[in-house]
Structure 1
Amino acid sequence: MRKKFLPIFGALVVSLATVGCSSDDPISPGPGPTPEPGKDIVKTGILKSNETWTSNNIYVLDGRVVVDEGVTLTIEPGTIIKAKDGQESNASALIVDQGAKLVANGTAEKPIIFTSVNDNIKAGEKNSTLKASDAGQWGGVIVLGKAPISVAASSGKGYIEGIPAGLSYGEYGGTNAADNSGSLKYISIRFSGVAVAPNSEIQGLTLGGVGNGTTIENVEIFSNKDDGIEFFGGTVNVKNVVVYGQEDDGLDVDQAYSGTIDNALIIQTEKSDSALEIDGPEGNGTGSFTFKNITINMNNIAGKKIADFRDGATGKLENIFVNNINTTGNVVNVNDEKTIVTLNGSKLNFVKWEFVLPAGKTVANLFTSKGTTAPDITKFTSNSIGVENGKQTVGANTSVFAWTFTKSLNLF
């Protein structure tokens, strides 16, 4: 996550207002009736009534397409959604507002694919024509809910990265841990992460204050300019995730996210940053995440962190397997004094980590920290071991990812 660029966004409101329908809502309601099947159907603006997108059409996002509060967008299995080019204020994205629902339930045989208009994939197909190096063609998918977040604002709410502050559809956070933003199953998000302002890219999937009434499972992020998935607080549980080709962090947790991420595969590439970036609360709210059954392939690339813990991160990471570790910079890093305190106080916990160690390295060599307080390194080393490749007993069940584009390219 590249933090925080909200001051920039205020300037964008003026430039956006010329296409608006009101002073606080700079995009107009969406188009009228759906054309006949078999067409590329362009979507733009705010969807004001329930819609169903069907697999015999390709849907094209032109700018920010917003599912309005109280509205449900249903996407059939096998549907392809493409997004038009556009930088900064013209970036295309699908945004699910607080109180709206996205019901996008694909299947292993018929995943729902979000990609770029520059991808020549056709209706009924699953493999894209673009490459991992083609990240940043469009924005991404943003889901906003009413579950608790930890931010400095006394309201307990925030405006999501990538959307100008003050708009009707950028707010997230609240008090409903069980909030329901819909269901996402067998979703592949590809070539996303365009900048919506200088140095402010959108994640492949952004989850802001999303509650545990929401179902998210079997998700692929392929080639995103920023993070694969970022969790801004919330309580949503996510299962079966593949991230490949991200140019920042694989999975990024912030603002006291307190759900569970179960069974994930993160494959680092040359432009990646940390596989895991875990931040603590930004306000008085507290929360404790759980990561379990995670496999991280560092791809023997120097300078990339396995995990970076910051700002008093609190949670548990259990059954983690890491392989292809480079001797330079592939570390588990406790980044600041606040996080040393949570580590030493057993609020940040490592459980059953296994590493395929580079020659001459020990588990202790993989741990680094910053701060004046001495970290209790045994909190890490006592729960971590070296193993031979192929003999690990923890990590992800990668067989469930056979449906992904990543697997079709034999990248794992």
Structure 2
Amino acid sequence: MKKLLLSGLLVSSLVFTGCFKDDDTPIIIEEITIIQNGGDTEENPVIDVSGAITANTTWTNNNIYKINQKVVVDAGATLTIQEGTIIKGTPGTGSLASALIIARGSKINAVGTASEPIIFTSTSDNIEVGQTAGTNLDENDRGLWGGLIVLGNAPCSFSGDIPEAQIEGIPADDTFGLYGGTDAADNSGVLSYISIRHGGALIGEGNEINGLTLGGVGNGTIINNIEVVANVDDGIEFFGGTVNASNLLVWAQGDDGLDIDQAYSGTIDNAVVVLGDFSDHAFEIDGPEGSATGSFTLQNATIIGNTVTENGEYADYRSGATGATNNIYAYGFKASSDIELDNDGVATNYNDGLLTFGTWEIVLPAGVTDVVNVFVNKAETVTVTGFGDSASVVTQGTQTVGAITSMLAWTYANTVGNLGF
């Protein structure tokens, strides 16, 4: 594109005029913004996107893509995103909240690299083309847009044994929010080297969009090297499905770091959760809601606490959860923080060997003298024995389990949060 020489001005020009055809198909508006920076002239092309993507589409890293409200990749279409591409969501709540939604039957092919991750952030972020970070936002800037939602046809366990459900964070009358099915090997595409920042817009009271929402996503989908920073709600939530995910990092979320629901039965491997000043649990693990069952595996994770946050728990196992948690390293938590069995159902599953705990290595907070005291059974009527027996006390830096944090050295969180990976 021809470079325009302007001085001391910010100019916007519309390449197309946005409107709607008779069939409500949105026309994409391309806005070219030329900004004076330090005496040099730069072009920062911004592509406005709204409505449905109905054909195979590619977003390239020489543009910034601005998501207006809900952008939905329809069934049969594939959205390809080039490494280093920046996507910015607009502010808004309720039906106006912005999100990129990969609907059932569609695919996303978003493959970044360690040096050129694909970045989802807010229009408030001053990051520009070719950069990996802006300068005006930090881990305390949350809820500035929605998030990334991927929906599939893999099995889930729903209340009432219904075959499909509406995903959390999308209004009930938007049918593109449906997920769930019978195809465990369903393929929603590839997410690799993705950074999702400053999301979690409010849909309704107590209902926010997660940084990355995975609803009924099958194990034909590839998910690795993902970070979520400064989201109002959970960092990454797995609603059922069978997808495996590795090399994950969540920092400064407002609720839970990794959240499992509806009989998710995949494997989460090599993960780090770093609690912020307003975070709740590092892990929140729920079980099935209907008769369908499934067991998760969560392994090789490092969780870093926060002594300022009001809650700041290690993990909460609830609602009849079944699965295995292995090789966890934890430090930096408050003395009041715990790993808990929340109710009779999950305590029974623990007793029956359906919920298991492998090695945990914990740096004890001041005031805690026995690691077993970190493990708490809150069931009303079911007693358990041996809960916490697989845990041991370590000093920081001497752990033998946990995440291989060098795999996450590429992340924004590591760079600006000085995590030392």
- Per the normalisation by structure 1, the TM-score is 0.91
Q: What is residue 357 of structure 2 aligned with on the other side? A: 350
Q: Secondary structure at the match of 2:414?
A: helix
Q: What is residue 273 of structure 2 aligned with on the other side? A: 266
Q: Mind listing any 5+ residue stretches in structure 2 that lack a counterpart? A: 1-18, 33-42
Q: Per the alignment, do residues 248 and 33 of structure 1 end up closer, same or farther by CA in structure 2, a change over 3 Å counting?
A: closer
Size of the aligned set, in residue pairs, is 388
Q: What is residue 402 of structure 1 aligned with on the other side? A: 409
Q: Secondary structure at the match of 2:254?
A: coil
Structure 1 residue 20 displacement after superposition: 9.6
Q: Per the alignment, do residues 21 and 150 of structure 1 end up closer, same or farther by CA in structure 2, a change over 3 Å counting?
A: farther
Q: What is residue 4 of structure 1 aligned with on the other side? A: none
Conserved 8 A contact 1:298-1:326: yes
Q: What is residue 339 of structure 1 aligned with on the other side? A: 346
1:214-241, Cα deviation, whole Å (9 max, x unpaired): 0000001000000000000000000000
TM alignment of 1:11-410, pairs within 5 A: 28-32=24-28, 39-129=45-135, 130-301=137-308, 303-328=311-336, 330-359=337-366, 360-378=368-386, 380-410=387-417
Structure 1 residue 21 displacement after superposition: 8.9
Amino acid at match of 1:29: T
Amino acid at match of 1:368: V
Q: Distance in 2 between matches of 1:109 and 1:231?
A: 27
Q: Per the alignment, do residues 132 and 410 of structure 1 end up closer, same or farther by CA in structure 2, a change over 3 Å counting?
A: closer
Structure 1 residue 116 displacement after superposition: 0.4
Q: Distance in 2 between matches of 1:248 and 1:372?
A: 25
Q: Distance in 2 between matches of 1:210 and 1:368?
A: 32
Q: What is residue 9 of structure 2 aligned with on the other side? A: none
Conserved 8 A contact 2:30-2:48: no
Amino acid at match of 2:85: T
Conserved 8 A contact 2:29-2:48: no
Q: Secondary structure at the match of 1:306?
A: strand
Percent identity of the aligned residues?
48
1:120-165, Cα deviation, whole Å (9 max, x unpaired): 0000000133111110000000000000000024432111011122
1:36-56, Cα deviation, whole Å (9 max, x unpaired): 995200000011111000000
Q: Secondary structure at the match of 1:406?
A: helix
Q: Per the alignment, do residues 20 and 331 of structure 1 end up closer, same or farther by CA in structure 2, a change over 3 Å counting?
A: farther
Q: Structure 1 stretches (4+) deviating beyond 4 angstroms?
A: 19-22, 32-38
Amino acid at match of 2:372: A
Q: Mind listing any 5+ residue stretches in structure 1 that lack a counterpart? A: 1-18
My pick for the range that moved more, 112-121 or 125-134, is 125-134
1:323-376, Cα deviation, whole Å (9 max, x unpaired): 112112x10011111111001111110001110112442111101122233432
Larger-Rg structure: 2
Conserved 8 A contact 1:367-1:377: no
Q: Secondary structure at the match of 1:60?
A: strand
- Per the normalisation by structure 2, the TM-score is 0.89
Q: Distance in 2 between matches of 1:363 and 1:194?
A: 38
Q: Distance in 2 between matches of 1:57 and 1:381?
A: 51
Q: Distance in 2 between matches of 1:236 and 1:216?
A: 8
RMSD of equivalent CA atoms: 1.9
Amino acid at match of 1:376: V
Q: Distance in 2 between matches of 1:108 and 1:30?
A: 34
Amino acid at match of 1:375: T
